């Protein structure tokens, strides 16, 4: 497999444009009654037309059998080995609410929880307190004085993000969250000698928070997990010499795009508005990542029809994008989210790539079962970007 | 590629059950007259029915073009990189006769051979002496006094296994067997400084054996090769958190299963009896490796019809296994043994995986030519276990 050092040497800028459309959780499983997947059940004239003009295949986000979270699923499509470039839970949670921690800052996922008089956890979610109460308590905790600057930001219900900022901090810490009730919260421990001070700071935060929250009936304690920092990764510009932009409605995906150096474009919430944003900014970039979320959400809901309907909604919006006639169009998903499983899954994801130079195969419909026989075969998601770059004629020959 | 450290973190126990049926040497080549392989020539209604309910593919035991021995073929299916986890010839020979050398013991494959008055090898197999005579000579050699405990165990005809037991032994030795007649047996040499003592012990064994056998007309010398020790490898339980069991009629496959920590179940010699053993012990384990040998034997015999017949015999026995309705069924081979070649070969092996969540493809018959168009595409055998675990819903999501 060619690595970034090689791609850096081979890549060059040109006027051609690439649009990567990620249909989140695209892959599905057959409906027990019809034997057809969500994608196969949806009416998708535009996707099918693209398929006829594309080279198709099935993509494994990580490797066969492995179910990816959102971060590894996307990083793989962006060409980053998702095992090497691991985004921690704390950072992902921060990205999910639009925070953009600098390298060096440590992020943790926090839960307000309930403990009894003995300190034992009786509810890991503090009765799912209201988001408003959460915000008040986060404000309270923000005033704690520690040996590092802290930012406490509410998420939803009992969840918050805790950022530590300062010099010499380390994410190599164990969780305080034992992930089950009936136990005491755990001491945060350093996983390396240089994380000793950070462990002390984290434990001091927990101790002070406990004191500050002691009169709360529900949210009288905090649990921390997933200490992590922004991964150190080369940008899209460094690797591919692209000027990339991202159009996504959910903060987490905007955050992931930001991690690899994409400019985040403003957009309305519907896929039509996302494509209009693409149209509006089309002259300013040579790579566009467009993210469509509702397929994954409906899949996780276990709602087969709604997921198929979301695919149809996307299909109907496609003409705006198609009219721009990008030199390279890639349509795929970051992973499968079959409605019958109602969760992310390991199943390979349909993929198609259209360009003047793609060498179309005989696939005439965009679906799981047709893409099996596509010209790309079954490939790892990290191989998509080199293919996109090649089809955009942005990669030089390797070797003499 | 996901490694064992990741699989360990992702795997969890559950009540679902996996049956891995390995049809040894399954893959074949077309008969010159019919153009059909052994598998395509056999009448296999049960295998074909499983194929219709499965996702299919072609598996490369190691990588394209590489013909595996039995050990790498099986270890790959078990998920162990067969290049990293190399089982030496001596250890394999020991496993093949039901010995189970402890880590630290050194095993070598031995041949009785014939040398002339000048010490030159005239017959590497000592005229294929009887197995009875072999046993008597092994008994004789067992009495030799060396700087390590030795166990000399007869195999068949001229073959024996030599085990060295004790502290500080090393397998880093060259062979004494020059693998051709007309030469002197070679001195055993140490391949590393710490193997010096072991080389002396091995050469001393050979010298004493030569003296003890000098009056034999045929078996008047020994040749040693494949010095090796049990590879240090994590168990199935450590990696996959499975409670695995193996059903196999040949000691070598039981030995290989033992290396990865499978419990070896008692069984009669026919495939029907093997499936009855599966039925009998079905409640006690969550993973079963069932090995069917005769396809490989008949392939090595070069007997096309007999190999096809062996496949039919297996097919007819399948209902006992199917009745148990395992959550995941995998049917494949450890390598190809085409009757037209009469030996192991490099050809990719048909593979099918059936589960409630497998996403069946359009393959309606289990064969080499149909599996090409299966939904798994062409994959490395080491990827089978992650897929099995995923389909058994025993793997957590990777990454946030």
In this structure, are strands A328-332 and A18-23 parallel, antiparallel, or unpaired? parallel
- Please report residues of A whose CB lies closer than 8 A to that of B375: 58, 348, 368-369, 372
The CA-atom distances, in angstroms, between A386 and each of A8, A56, A57, A79, A373 are: 11, 15, 15, 8, 21
Percent of chain B past pLDDT 90, that is, above it, reads 97
- Please report residues of B whose CB lies closer than 8 A to that of A231: none
| Mean pLDDT of the A375-390 span | 97
Q: What is the pLDDT of residues A93-115, one digit of tens each?
A: 999 898 989 989 999 999 999 99
On whether any CB of chain B is under 8 Å from the CB of A88, the answer is yes
- Exposed e or buried b for every residue in A303-342, given b needs 16+ CB within 10 A? bbebbbbbbbbbbebbebbbeeebbbbbbbbbbbbbbbbe
- Please report residues of A whose CB lies closer than 8 A to that of B376: 64, 378
DSSP codes joined into one string, A107-173: EEEEEEEEE-TTS-EEETTTTT--HHHHHHHHHHHHT---SSEEEEEE-STTEEEEEEESSS----B
CB-CB under 8 Å, A373 with B359: no
In this model, does residue A182 exceed pLDDT 70?
yes
Q: What is the CB neighbour count within 10 angstroms for residue A53?
A: 14
Is A309:A294 a contact under the CB 8 Å cutoff?
no
In this model, does residue B353 exceed pLDDT 90?
yes
**What's the pLDDT score for residue B362?**
95
Number of A/B CB contacts below 8 angstroms equals 95
**What's the pLDDT score for residue A308?**
98
Residue in B270, B256, B273, B292 with CA at minimum distance from that of residue B26: B292
**What's the pLDDT score for residue B94?**
94
Q: Is the dihedral angle over the CA atoms A167, A171, A176, A177 positive or is it negative?
A: positive
CB-CB under 8 Å, A58 with B375: yes
On whether any CB of chain B is under 8 Å from the CB of A345, the answer is yes
Mean pLDDT (chain B) is 96
Q: What is the pLDDT of residues A263-275, one digit of tens each?
A: 999 999 999 999 9
Q: What is the pLDDT of residues B176-204, one digit of tens each?
A: 999 999 999 999 999 999 999 999 999 99
CB-CB under 8 Å, B400 with A87: yes
Q: What is the pLDDT of residues B59-76, one digit of tens each?
A: 999 999 999 999 999 999
The whole-angstrom separation of Cα B400 and Cα B397 is: 8
User: Which value, to the nearest 10 degrees, does the dihedral of the CA atoms of residues B374, B379, B384, B390 take?
Assistant: -70
**What's the pLDDT score for residue B318?**
98
Is A366:A349 a contact under the CB 8 Å cutoff?
no
Q: What is the pLDDT of residues A130-153, one digit of tens each?
A: 999 999 999 999 999 999 999 999
Residue B57: phi and psi, rounded to 5, are -175, -175
- Cross-strand pairs, A355: A328
In this model, does residue A1 exceed pLDDT 80?
no
Mean pLDDT (chain A) is 96
The CA-atom distances, in angstroms, between B350 and each of A95, A117, B269, B336, B392 are: 44, 61, 25, 9, 21
- Please report residues of A whose CB lies closer than 8 A to that of B379: 64, 378
On whether any CB of chain A is under 8 Å from the CB of B398, the answer is yes
**What's the pLDDT score for residue A212?**
97
CB nearest to B390's CB, from A29, A67, A373: A67
Q: What is the pLDDT of residues A75-94, one digit of tens each?
A: 999 999 999 998 999 999 99
CB nearest to B389's CB, from A29, A65, A86: A65
CB-CB under 8 Å, A378 with B359: no
**What's the pLDDT score for residue B319?**
98
Q: What is the pLDDT of residues A330-381, one digit of tens each?
A: 999 999 999 999 999 999 999 999 999 999 999 999 999 999 999 999 999 9
Angle between helices B271-280 and B304-323 (to 10 degrees): 20
Is A114:A121 a contact under the CB 8 Å cutoff?
yes
User: How far B130 CA lies from chain A's nearest CA (Å)?
Assistant: 50
On whether any CB of chain B is under 8 Å from the CB of A362, the answer is no
Q: What is the pLDDT of residues A9-64, one digit of tens each?
A: 999 999 999 999 999 999 999 999 999 999 999 999 999 999 999 999 999 999 99
On whether any CB of chain A is under 8 Å from the CB of B360, the answer is yes
Nearest CA in chain A to B357: A29
Q: What is the pLDDT of residues B45-57, one digit of tens each?
A: 999 999 999 999 9
| Mean pLDDT of the A292-314 span | 97
CB-CB under 8 Å, A341 with B397: no
Quick one: how far is CA A103 from the chain centroid?
Answer: 18
**What's the pLDDT score for residue B2?**
79
The whole-angstrom separation of Cα A366 and Cα A329 is: 14
CB nearest to A88's CB, from B373, B390, B400: B400
Percent of chain A past pLDDT 70, that is, above it, reads 100
In this model, does residue B400 exceed pLDDT 90?
no
On whether any CB of chain A is under 8 Å from the CB of B387, the answer is yes
Give 3-state DSSP helix, strand, coil % of chain A, rounded to 5: 35, 20, 45
- Please report residues of B whose CB lies closer than 8 A to that of A341: 357
This model of the complex carries an ipTM of 0.91
User: How far A82 CA lies from chain B's nearest CA (Å)?
Assistant: 9
The confidence band for B103, taking pLDDT boundaries of 50, 70 and 90, is confident
User: How far B78 CA lies from chain A's nearest CA (Å)?
Assistant: 14
- Which structure tokens are listed for A85? 């470039």
**What's the pLDDT score for residue B1?**
65
On whether any CB of chain B is under 8 Å from the CB of A295, the answer is no
- Please report residues of B whose CB lies closer than 8 A to that of A68: 397-399
The CA-atom distances, in angstroms, between A171 and each of A103, A204, B228, B231 are: 11, 16, 43, 36
């Amino acid at each position: 497999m060619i690595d970034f050092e090689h791609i850096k040497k081979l890549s060059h800028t040109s006027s051609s444009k690439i649009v990567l459309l990620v249909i989140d959780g695209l892959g599905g499983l057959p409906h027990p009654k019809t034997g057809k997947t969500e994608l196969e059940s949806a009416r998708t004239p535009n996707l099918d037309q693209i398929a006829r003009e594309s080279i198709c295949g099935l993509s494994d986000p990580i490797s066969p059998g492995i179910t990816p979270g959102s971060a590894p699923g996307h990083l793989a499509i962006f060409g980053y080995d998702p095992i090497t470039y691991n985004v921690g839970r704390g950072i992902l949670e921060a990205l999910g609410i639009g925070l953009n921690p600098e390298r060096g800052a440590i992020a943790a996922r926090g839960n307000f929880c309930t403990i009894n008089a003995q300190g034992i956890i009786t509810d890991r979610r503090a009765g799912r307190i209201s988001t408003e109460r959460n915000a008040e308590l986060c404000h309270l905790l923000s005033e704690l004085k520690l040996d590092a600057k802290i930012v406490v930001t509410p998420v939803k219900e009992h969840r918050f993000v805790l950022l530590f900022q300062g010099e010499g901090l380390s994410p190599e810490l164990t969780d305080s969250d034992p992930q089950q009730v009936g136990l005491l919260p755990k001491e945060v421990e350093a996983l390396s000698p240089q994380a000793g001070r950070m462990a002390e700071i984290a434990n001091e935060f927990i101790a002070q928070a406990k004191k500050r929250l002691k009169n709360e009936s529900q949210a009288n304690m905090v649990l921390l997990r997933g200490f992590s920092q922004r991964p150190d990764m080369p940008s899209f510009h460094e690797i591919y010499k692209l000027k990339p932009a991202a159009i996504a409605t959910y903060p987490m995906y905007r955050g992931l795009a930001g991690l690899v150096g994409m400019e985040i474009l403003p957009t309305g919430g519907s896929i039509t508005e996302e494509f209009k944003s693409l149209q509006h900014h089309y002259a300013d970039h040579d790579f566009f990542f467009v993210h469509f979320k509702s397929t994954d959400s409906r899949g996780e809901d276990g709602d087969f029809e709604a997921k198929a309907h979301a695919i149809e909604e996307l299909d109907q919006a496609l003409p705006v994008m198609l009219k721009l006639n990008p030199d390279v169009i890639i349509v795929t998903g970051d992973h499968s989210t079959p409605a019958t499983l109602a969760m992310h899954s390991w199943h390979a994801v349909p993929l198609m790539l259209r360009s003047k130079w793609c060498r179309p195969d005989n696939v005439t419909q965009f679906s799981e079962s047709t893409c099996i026989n596509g010209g790309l075969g079954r490939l790892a998601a990290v191989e998509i970007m080199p293919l996109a770059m090649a089809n955009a004629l942005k990669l030089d020959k390797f070797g003499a």
